[in-house]
Amino acid sequence: MSEHMATAQCEIEAPPEDVWRALTDPELIKKYMFGSEVKTDWKPGSPITWQGEFEGRPYQDKGEIISFEPSQRLEVTHFSPLTGQEDRPENYHRVRYDLQPTNGGTTVRLTQDNSSSAEEAEHSASNWQMMLDGLKKVVELRSSS
């Protein structure tokens, strides 16, 4: 595994339970994760897939649920064929969402390991930050209505 980590973080004005719902409800995920359709049963050891279209190209990413701790932590492996890499264990990332209650809201911190370079980690961090910003909008819109 590489030492290059991608990180992203946001503050969401909603309780962890609301953020968790948005992280694990396929209909809500589709709203902030670039239209991805997510399929899984959310049990550790179970497969997870994301499929959709990105920059005009269809994709089906895959991984496995590592940990599922409601309103606290979600960790998955992730592999995308769009990277051009072979589907081998060393080409998977571990993506972890940590939720922390803060002043009536929630801090969401995302980490992704196994980037091949600092540049790749920075690119991934930018994409994850965009996704977290979308998550924030979805959750806060739902919380205010």
| pLDDT tens column, 75-91 | 999 998 877 889 999 88
**Mean pLDDT for the chain overall:** 93
Q: Please, what are the domains in the chain?
A: 4-34+68-144 (3.30.530.20)
Residue 119 three-state SS:
helix
pLDDT band at 2 (very low <50, low <70, confident <90, very high): low
Q: Which two tokens stand for residue 59?
A: 């994709």
CA 53 – CA 25 distance, rounded (Å): 19
Q: What is the mean pLDDT of residues 124-128?
A: 92
**Own/partner pairs, 52-58, CB within 8 angstroms, 24+ separation:** 54/82, 57/82
For tokens 């769009």, name the residue.
82
Q: What is the mean pLDDT of residues 18-24?
A: 97
Q: How many whole angstroms from its chain centre is CA 113?
A: 12
